[in-house]
A and B are shown apart, each in its own frame.
Chain A
Amino acid sequence: MSVKLILSWAIAFVVGSLLFEWYSVAAVGGVCGWFLIGRKPIINTAVAASIGWWVLLIGTATRGEVGKFAATLGAVMGLAPVVLFLLVGIFPALLAGSAAALTSAVREWQEARRTEAV
């Protein structure tokens, strides 16, 4: 799959998260998995979701001292700041990826049924 397509989906994750709350990641991930059938839907969806949230975090960082805050928050939670940044990518990746796994499987099953019927 082209980088362009992943970035397009990343934009979808950005828009979804801006308009709705975090759970939009699951919804967009599901849609993404549905349409990316046959094109490594889980991995690509997960990558797009991670990129989307990191982009949003970078946007937040332009408006506040996110690095300094990560150090404080990490200390409170007993985590290295870098782990927090990684989690911002990992959580949506897992959420969107699992949604994509579900929807891509459903679509494959549907198409298989259609093929069998034909």
Chain B
Amino acid sequence: MKKSVARTLRGSLGATALGALAWAGAFGVSPVPPLGNLLDPVRGVWQVAVTPDPVDLNTKISSLDGPVRVVFDDRAVPHIFAATTADAVRALGYIVARDRLFQMELQTRATAGTLTELVGRAALGIDQNARRLGMAASAERMFGELDPTGFTRTRLDEYAEGVNAWIDEMPDTELPLEYHLLGSAPARWEAVHTAFLLRQMGLTLAGYAHDLRREQVIALVGEDAAAALFPVHSLLQEPIQPNGEDGPRYDLAPIPPPVPGGPAELAAVGAINAMLFADPSVPDRPVEASNNWVVAGSRTESGNALLAGDPHLDLTLPSIWYEAHMVVPGEIDVYGVTFPGVPGIVIGFNRNLSWSFTNTGADVMDFYDESLDDPERPTRYMLDGQWRDLDVRVERYLGKRGNVLAEDTIYSTHRGPIRQVGGRSLSMRWTVLETAGEILALDGVSRATNVGEWRTAMRTFRAPAQNGVAADTDGNISLYSFGWYPVRPDDGNGLVVRDGTTSESDWTGEWEFLAYPGAVNPEQGFLASANQEPVDPGTNPTFLGADWTSPWRAIRINQLLRANDSVTAEDMRAYQTDPGSARAEFFLPFLTEAGAYGENENAARARTLLREWDGRYTPDSKAAVVFEWTMDRLTALTWDELIADGDSRRVDTPGDVLLWSLMHDSDNQWWDNKETQEIENRDQLIVRAMGWAYADAVARYGEIGEGWRWENVGHANIEHLIRAPPLSRFGIPVQAGIGTLGAWSRSGKHGPSWRMVVEMGSEVRAQVTYPGGQSGNPMSLFYDDRIQQWSNGQLDEVLFPRTPDDLPRERTIATVLLEAGR
């Protein structure tokens, strides 16, 4: 009897434990991923350690028309040799998926608003925001409208075939680490996913709601002050399109005192904040810090045109970029970087042309105050005195196992999706949601043989608007701001929320292509863009945007290029990490000459440091630490009126150019800090800011000494996509500050995502790098191998072979032969 009980008990416990372990093995117990697949030494996570680097491979892909040879050089860059462009694109999809599959899926889901299906409920807020912006819906709509046999659709399909060929044949042993950790499997790649990625880039670069911010600022300080603080045209003009000046031109104007609005206006500030800051993934003001410039042969030592480009984006591991070379004899021979998920080279060069981009920052997002038939459950909206049906879309957010986590109903007018903001129903029109020509443009650029063809190819590039720079082997240089620039009714102002009940509020057209700001072969022999206002309003005052990025970098690069009439590729490389700062040059005289130091010893010490400073953000600079922290303190003290009651952060921050402009008016009311009883002037605030900054530095690094090094403040933090610190690389030294060409960002998470210098001689020579590596596998030699080089400001000379045999054998690490068939 006893034995029987023991047996039953053992059997029952065994069955229960077996069931529980099988469950844990198959499904995991949140947050622990499925243990079976994770720990399995044959197919589990351990395999990540086995094949981290490219290896020789010979495989068949059914969609190929012919064989494709992919040779990886010793920088893990694939050189793809195919007989047709279609096969080259398929191979690109296959290879990029092999190295970056998880990144491709994560970024796609971020736009589609389906992250919850991969990571669970934690991503619900991010997904809701993505869908409410209408990014995926618009991408699907545009994709559905593409001609199935047309160029763009065909390219996207070919790329998807390549990606899915890898997903289909990927052995368990190649599953990326992140899937193991999340207990997920890769989803198939749909052709529309590329459109999602381009929308995501649009959000990053052109997702700024000027109109709503402007409403907040007006409520807090009044219309006149708002217009002065966030002017339509930059006060400091160093435009992309040369304006005939030899240096920056000033348009300084007095800044009216703050006049707060009434209770209703102030209440709206909170409502807009609630919408704009509802989710931390919603971009605040875009951090714009990209540079590109070209120098004509007349000003270079070799006589060849030179091009430099360093687009600044989020610094992540793996990098946002993937480097590749595609060769199709007689069709394309293009080298550069692609976004994983995009079927072509985005920035790069071919045998005749090189090109790069910076963000234009034009205002391409407008809001309209709509009148709905029922604010709670609307079905129609009023337009020109008649009710029109709303487009209604029900969004379901699914969990990892397909369970419904939440539902949303998204309403749209003919302008775009509606969001509720403080009792108002605001529809949004945004160029990013209405474009599909970018793939065609990038393909055309890859094939262009001179700057004229390049410009023509860029005609279909609509969003996000970009300042494209190009140089060719004939010695031509060019720079144009390409994109869809809306023309608004009335005064053309894009900074107001317009009445949605009338179609007279709608965009009336767009800028003519030939009117885009830019230049070809200017007399000055060089062209540069650094996100500054593209065209001097003295040349063309038409509204293009507002509140432009301060032109410090533009001023600096133009200073350097004006001063050198024999530029070399090495000079171009050095300029990309030049520590000089026009911003420091402009502010230092005010900081070092401010009076009333006697009352503040720390400020006096800071002044001594700053007086001896050359304005260069070198890694060992002590003064740079004090200067930057002084600027932070001064900004906070000066613009305190832009913080709403009960909040802790400014609704918006005027550019440094405004602060510099205010410096010329020492008793302006804006200098007064509302937290104190006394009425402060400029010098009092400067002294206070410098004193605090010095004290901050002492508190952080001790008394002045070796610890006071700029590199301790100004470093890069390159975060892994799943934000796992062990997979991230923090505290990377950089020779850059705010406003220098290297353009350090305060978080360190934004910076030069790709650096390229190209010399357009009879044989094109290029040097490149980016902060990361080709592989998404943290165990790979090529996961983060370029970070040190990037940190040092060094570049790699690339291999640019015409045929596979041109690649030196000793610099080849693997060959992948893809053949047609099963």
Residues in A lying within 8 Å of B, measured CB to CB: 17-18, 21-23, 26, 42, 53-54, 56-57, 59-60, 63-66, 68-69, 72-73, 75-77, 87-88, 91-92, 94-95, 97-106, 108-109, 112
Number of residues in B with C-beta < 8 Å to the partner?
40
Taking a contact as CB atoms under 8 Å apart, the answer to whether B17 and A101 are in contact is yes
Question: Would A91 and B39 count as touching, CB distance under 8 A?
Answer: yes
Which B1-59 residues have a C-beta within 8 angstroms of A? 3-4, 7-8, 10-11, 13-15, 17-18, 21-22, 25-26, 35-37, 39-52
Complex contact A63–B36 (CB within 8 A): no
Contact of A17 among B41, B47, B52 (CB under 8 A): B41
> Is the CB of B724 closer than 8 A to any CB of chain A?
yes
B437-462 at interface with A (beta carbon < 8 Å): none
* CB atoms of A23 and B14 under 8 A apart: no
Are A68 and B14 touching (Cβ within 8 A)?
A: no
Task: Pick the contact of B22: A26, A57, A60, A104 (CB < 8 A).
Answer: A26
Contact A91:B49 (CB < 8 A) given known A17-B40, A22-B40, A105-B8: no
> In angstroms, how far is the closest chain A Cβ from the Cβ of B722?
9
Task: Assess the B48–A69 pair: CB atoms within 8 A.
Answer: yes
For A65, the chain B residues whose CB sits under 8 A away are 49, 779
- Complex Cα distance, B552 from A15, in Å, reads 66
- Is residue B726 contacting chain A, with contact meaning CB distance below 8 A? yes
Pairwise interchain contact A69-B779, C-beta atoms closer than 8 A: yes
Tell me the B703-734 residues at the A interface (CB within 8 Å): 724-727
B41 adjacent to A59 (CB under 8 Å): yes
Across-interface contacts of A21 in B (CB, < 8 A)? 36-37, 40, 43
Cβ-neighbour of B49 out of A60, A87, A95 (below 8 A)? A60
**Does A23 contact B49, Cβ atoms closer than 8 Å?**
no
Which residues of chain B have C-beta atoms less than 8 A from A75's C-beta?
725-726
Specify which of B3, B51, B724, B779 is in contact with A68 (CB 8 Å cutoff).
B779
User: CA of A66 to CA of B10 in the docked complex: distance in angstroms?
Assistant: 37
Residue of A17, A22, A23, A77 with highest tally of chain B CB at under 10 A = A22
Shortest CB-to-CB span from A99 to chain B, Å, is 5
Could you tell me the distance in whole angstroms from the C-beta of B479 to the nearest C-beta in chain A?
Answer: 44
Q: Which residues of B contact A22 (CB under 8 A)?
A: 25, 36-37, 39-40, 43-44
In the bound complex, what is the Cα–Cα distance between A26 and B177 (angstroms)?
A: 25
Chain A residue with Cβ nearest B19: A98
Chain A residues whose CB sits within 8 angstroms of the CB of B15 once the complex forms: 98, 102
**Are the C-beta atoms of A56 and B18 separated by less than 8 Å?**
no
Given contacts A22-B43, A112-B7, 19 further A-B contacts (CB under 8 A): A22-B25, A22-B36, A22-B39, A57-B41, A65-B779, A66-B46, A69-B49, A72-B727, A87-B39, A91-B35, A98-B13, A99-B18, A101-B11, A101-B13, A105-B7, A105-B10, A108-B7, A109-B11, A112-B4
Q: A23: which of B11, B25, B42, B47 is its contact (CB, 8 Å)? A: B25
CA distance in complex: A72, B724 (Å): 10
Q: CA A77 – CA B727 in complex, angstroms?
A: 11
| Distance, CA A3 to CA B183, complexed state (A) | 36
**Which residues of chain B are near A112, meaning CB under 8 Å?**
3-4, 7
What does DSSP make chain A's interface, helix, strand, loop or mixed? helix
Report the minimum CB–CB distance from B456 to chain A (whole Å): 49
A sample of 13 cross-chain residue pairs with beta-carbon separation below 8 angstroms, ordered by A number, consists of: A17-B40, A18-B42, A22-B25, A22-B43, A23-B25, A23-B36, A26-B22, A60-B46, A64-B50, A88-B41, A98-B14, A105-B7, A105-B14
Whether A73 contacts B45 in the complex (CB less than 8 A), given A23-B25, A23-B26, comes out as yes
Judging by beta carbons under 8 Å apart, are B14 and A76 in contact? no
Q: For the complex formed, measure the closest distance between the CB of A25 and the CB atoms of chain B, giving whole angstroms.
A: 8
B residues near A26, Cβ cutoff 8 Å: 18, 21-22
Q: Which residues of chain A are within 8 angstroms of B48 by Cβ–Cβ distance?
A: 69, 73
Considering the complex, give the chain A residue whose CB is closest to the CB of B18.
A98
CA distance A26 to B21 in the complex (A): 9
Please determine whether B21 and A76 come into contact, CB atoms closer than 8 angstroms: no
A72 CB, min distance to chain B CBs, angstroms:
6
Q: If the complex has contacts A95-B18, A109-B7, are A63 and B50 also in contact, measured as CB distance less than 8 A?
A: yes
If the complex has contacts A21-B40, A65-B779, A69-B779, are A91 and B7 also in contact, measured as CB distance less than 8 A?
A: no
- CB-CB nearest in chain B for A92: B39
User: Are B41 and A56 in contact (CB-based, < 8 A)?
Assistant: yes
Docked Cα-Cα span, A105 to B3, in Å, equals: 10
In the complex formed, the residue of A with least CB distance to B13 is: A101
Is A101 a contact partner of B47 (Cβ separation < 8 A)?
A: no
A23 with B21: CB separation less than 8 A: no
In the complex, per-residue mask of B671-683: 1 if CB is within 8 Å of any chain A CB, else 0: 0000000000000
Query: B17 to chain A: which residues have CB within 8 Å?
Result: 94, 97-98, 101
Chain A minimum-CB-distance residue to B724: A76
Residues in B with CB closer than 8 Å to A95 are 18, 21-22, 25
A109 CB → nearest B CB, Å: 6
User: Which B residue sits closest to A84, measured CB to CB?
Assistant: B39
User: In the bound complex, what is the Cα–Cα distance between A38 and B652 (angstroms)?
Assistant: 77
Contacts of A104 in B (CB 8 A): 10, 14
1/0 per residue, CB under 8 A from A, across B720-764: the answer is 000011110000000000000000000000000000000000000
Across-interface contacts of B14 in A (CB, < 8 A): 42, 98-105
A66 touches B40 (CB 8 A): no
| Residue ID in chain B nearest A74 by CB atoms | B726
From A57, A76, A94, give the contact of B46 (CB < 8 A). A57
B486 at interface (Cβ–Cβ under 8 A)? no
Residue of B nearest to A52 (CB): B41
Interface centre among B14, B17, B48, B50 (most CB of A within 10 A): B14
> How far is it, in angstroms, between the C-alpha of A73 and the C-alpha of B727 when the chains are bound?
9
The answer to whether the Cβ of B181 comes within 8 Å of any Cβ in the partner chain is yes
A59 partner residues in chain B, CB cutoff 8 A: 41
Distance to closest chain B CB from A45 (angstroms): 11
B778 within 8 A of A: yes
CB distance from A27 to the nearest CB of B (A): 11
Residues of A within 8 A of B40 (CB): 17, 21-22, 53
A25–B258 CA distance with the chains assembled, in angstroms? 73
Contacts of A109 in B (CB 8 A): 4, 7-8, 11
In the complex the two chains form, what is the Cα distance from A54 to B727 in whole Å?
26
Closest residue of chain A to B44 (Cβ to Cβ) is A22
Q: Complex formed: what's the CA distance from A65 to B17 in Å?
A: 33
- Say yes or no: B726 contacts A76, CB within 8 Å: yes
Closest 5 CB pairs of A and B: A101-B14, A105-B11, A75-B726, A64-B49, A22-B36
Q: Select one of B10, B13, B47, B724 contacting A60, CB under 8 A.
A: B47
Contacts of A17 in B (CB 8 A): 40-42
For B4, list chain A residues within 8 Å (CB).
Answer: 109, 112
Is the Cβ of B779 less than 8 Å from the Cβ of A94?
Answer: no
CB distance from B305 to the nearest CB of A (A): 45
| Residue from the set A59, A97, A102 with the largest chain B CB neighbour count within 10 Å | A102
- CB neighbours (8 Å) of A91 from chain B are 21, 25, 35-36, 39
Set of chain B residues within 8 Å of A76, measured between Cβ atoms: 181, 724, 726-727
Determine the chain B residues whose CB is within 8 A of the CB of A57 once the complex forms: 41, 46
Interface pair A68/B18, CB less than 8 Å apart: no
